[in-house]
Amino acid sequence: MYRPPVTDPAKVIIRYPNRSRALVIVVEHPDVPTHPNDYLRTEYSAECAACLDYQRQDPALSTVRDWASNHALDCRALPQPEPTDQ
């Protein structure tokens, strides 16, 4: 099943700054039906752009949001350096 990459900015629904102002993001994954009788179930995941820790996809937004919020409060990793074209 196709899943959009978690870095797709169109699917980022919540952003928290960590203690070093790097982003911890909550991403929405709209379900794609593979069978006519499937019911659609949106799932959510979260990841920290600084330390690369993450929360796996879960149908409960509150679970993923709580992880992201708590991680942002604890994480002190600096933002990833900007890529350079040299």
Sequence-distant (6+) residues with CB within 8 A of 69 are: 16, 24
Q: Is 64 in the site for Zn ion (CB under 5 A)?
A: no
Cα 41 to Cα 60: distance, rounded to the nearest angstrom: 10
Which one-letter amino acid corresponds to residue 76?
R
* Contact string 17-36 vs Zn ion (x = CB under 5 A): --------------------
Is-contact 40 12, C-beta < 8 A? no
> Of 25, 48, 64, 68, which lies in the binding site for Zn ion, with binding defined by CB under 5 A?
48
> Of 51, 54, 64, 68, which lies in the binding site for Zn ion, with binding defined by CB under 5 A?
51
Binding site for Zn ion (CB under 5 A): 48, 50-51, 53, 75, 77
